[in-house]
Structure 1
Amino acid sequence: MFGRLTIRNLKVEIVERLNELASINERSVEAEVRYALAKWTELNGSEASVDEYYRGEISERLSFLIQQKNGALNFELKASHVAEKLGFAKGSIVEQWAQGEVEPTFEQLDALADYFSADPKWLKHGDGSPFDKTYIRIPEKPKEAIDWLLKKERYDDLINIAFIRDFSGCIYVVKIYENQRSIVYYTPYVLDDSVGNGGFNSLCKLFVFWEQLYKEYTSSQGSTSLSASNIMIKSYIFDELDSQELEKGNIDPLALIKKQTNSSWWEDVWDTGDTRLREYWSGCRELCIKVNEHRR
């Protein structure tokens, strides 16, 4: 099906250029106009398609982060809440991003990633997984280790610390801040009887750190004591499924922690005089006795 189009009031320069192109391409001026219009509409349609596709990708990833954050919160997080926290003048701007109506800048995407404790590379480009982790070998000296645990990172207002033992015995440290933001660290430590000599020696130093941390955590002496900071320290044991999700980084770690039951193993495993140490996991008591005997 073909349509008719009449164009009036074209500049003389445009008409002259069309005549030149028609002569070069050995076709009529009308054919040259049809060709030029076809190429112009194809180009702009392609650009619009790419723009729409990218906005859709950002929309999907941002909506996913809002959904994940709601899994960690005790209230429903809305786009307007996010906009207010990020200091925008209007709540509608984040809603427009989430709906794919407007494309945010890279700087705005970085701010969103920071708010959701997400990997900015994933939010901007889809690279990697939504929630990244940072490797850390905890300092061997207890004071330095505690200083690291409490030092300011990219967020202020540390409120909770979580030690996680996953299904295979690997230890994670999660620092939790106000507004339910977090930093997740994975470590070389394996709290399991399959650990080798090097890993065993590392566990001995880790137990010394936990012992000193517990003493400061429960101390009531001095205004600078850890207990005066109101920071809560908890520990958890993840089952196989949650361990896999934590490793893959596809679920907000705070949503995973929220559904766990607190297990006080970090307060007990280092206690050399505790003959009533619970079997927090299979082989727990035997391993802890060996570690504590070795470090005496």
Structure 2
Amino acid sequence: MPSLTIRNLDDTLINALKRKAGASARSVEAELRIALKAWADQPAMMQVEAVSQRLQQAIALAENGRASDFSTRPPYSAARLADAIGEDHVTPVAQWIEGIAEPSLSQLKAIAAYCSVSADWLAYGEGTPYLCEYDRIPENAGQGVLWLLDADPKTLKTHLQGLRFIRCAGERGGLLLVKQWADKDLVIRTPYVVSEDTGGGGRSSLRNLTQVWHLLYQVYSECDLAPDLAITSHIASERTYRQLQDGWHNPSALLHDLPSQPWWEDIWDSNEFARSNYWPGWKKLCTDLYEEISDSKSASNIRESIESGEHPLLKEIENAALLGKLDT
């Protein structure tokens, strides 16, 4: 075994080693070997502790989201985690959570999927537990609906379980989307402002967005394209709106505390928007948007095709159902 000679040690350090060696009934050399080993193992133990802390946080976040609309999972215990990721024994999983042992990367990624958190965050400490991206909704109505539903353009099928539209309370009225699958949530920041506080380009985008919502409602209510999907809209306080974007709060838990307000399906419907007042300026916004679409030949033609069931996407879904490609 290789040896190491250390010269000119400080007397204070030597005396401390002697005291610790005496208290443990070991030689000074043996005490020094133990101290050096602990020093060498420190980075590894720090890694194990960091993973343990993220595991505990992932479990706590998942517990917060158990009350989501479509979640029927039991509490996130070590035994449940072990069973979910295919482990035959609970003890190793409990040791990972306690910081006694470290799981493999594949085990961490399996736990991330079960807890619906980011695998990169849980395994590597990169980013945040929940995903938040910036994107625009395609302004062509058919393309916009398929994008919102995360539907395959060829098969028209989707695995989405939740689609939420969140408007920030207040005059500005920023818009967030939350797409929810069985194993993850994705928050999407958008450039849209759902209020009168828009410029020319923003106003045009908002008009197109109401057409997307109109078509989405027809697909959602009439075509049974996604029978297990829940689409809701909400109005969030500025605090909740920020929390949805920061990536550190469970979106399902935040949304569970927000009452559903069906403004997304009323905003384009002249038979409904006059009966409600979801925020100050609501009725004027809806009336103006409706009239602006009526004044545009191309936009009014799109609206007519949606209402009559002749929109290309509606016909495509109908044909796919007749051919047995959809479970409708």
TM-score w.r.t. length of structure 1 = 0.77
In structure 2, give the amino acid aligned to 1:97: W
Residue 182 of structure 1 corresponds to which residue in structure 2? 185
Establish whether residue 236 from structure 1 lines up as the match of residue 234 from structure 2. Answer: yes
| Whole-Å separation in 1 of the counterparts to 2:151 and 2:293 | 31
Match of 2:208 in 1: 205
Structure 2 gaps, min length 5 = 9-26, 68-73, 153-157, 295-328
Q: Which residue of 2 aligns with 1:261?
A: 259
Residue of structure 1 in register with 2:65 after alignment: 72
Q: For each residue in 1:49-89, what CA deviation from the matched residue of structure 2 results, as whole angstroms up to 9, or x when unmatched?
A: 22222212211111111111111114422222223222333
- CA distance in structure 1 between the aligned counterparts of 2:274 and 2:100, rounded to whole angstroms: 60
Tell me which residue corresponds to 2:121.
122
Aligned match of 1:158 in 148, 157, 160?
160
- d(CA) in 1 for partners of 2:52, 2:204: 48
Structure 2 letter corresponding to 1:73? R
Structure 1: 5+ residue stretches without partners = 1-13, 27-33, 220-224
Whole-Å Cα distance in 1 between the matches of residues 273 and 259 of structure 2? Answer: 24
Deviation at 1:273, TM superposition (A): 4.4
Q: Which residue does the alignment assign to 2:175?
A: 171
Question: 1: distance between equivalents of 2:273 and 2:166?
Answer: 23
**Local SS of the residue matching 2:234:** strand
Runs (4+) off by over 6 Å: 34-39
Q: What amino acid sits opposite 2:119 in the alignment?
A: P
Could you tell me how far apart the structure 2 residues matched to 1:277 and 1:47 are? Answer: 70
Shift of 1:268: 0.3
Q: 1:185 to 1:226 in 2, by over 3 A?
A: farther
Whether the aligned pair in 1 keeps the contact of 2:263 and 2:278 (CA below 8 Å) is: yes
Please give the secondary structure, in 2, of the residue aligned with 1:267: helix
- Structure 2: distance between partners of 1:228 and 1:244: 30
Structure 1 range deviating more: 109-118 or 186-195: 109-118
TM-score by length of 2: 0.70
Matches within 5 A, 1:29-178: 40-74=33-67, 75-151=74-150, 157-167=159-169, 168-178=172-182
Decide which structure has the larger Cα Rg and report it. Answer: 1
Write the deviation string for residues 128-179 of structure 1: whole angstroms up to 9, x where unpaired. 33222122211222222222233369xx843222111123522222222336
Q: Secondary structure at the match of 1:276?
A: helix
Distance 2:130 2:195 in 1: 26
CA deviation digits over 1:86-110, x for unaligned, max 9? 2333333332211112112233323
CA distance, structure 2, for counterparts of residue 204 and residue 91 of structure 1: 55
Aligned residues: 264
% same residue: 30
In 2, Cα distance between equivalents of 1:114 and 1:185: 20
CA distance in 1, matches of 2:38, 2:31: 11
Distance 1:295 1:82, change over 3 A: farther
Give 1:236 shift.
1.1
Which secondary structure does the structure 2 equivalent of 1:89 belong to?
coil
**Structure 2 counterpart of 1:45, one-letter code:** A
* Alpha-carbon distance between aligned partners in 1 of 2:31 and 2:89, rounded to the nearest angstrom: 40
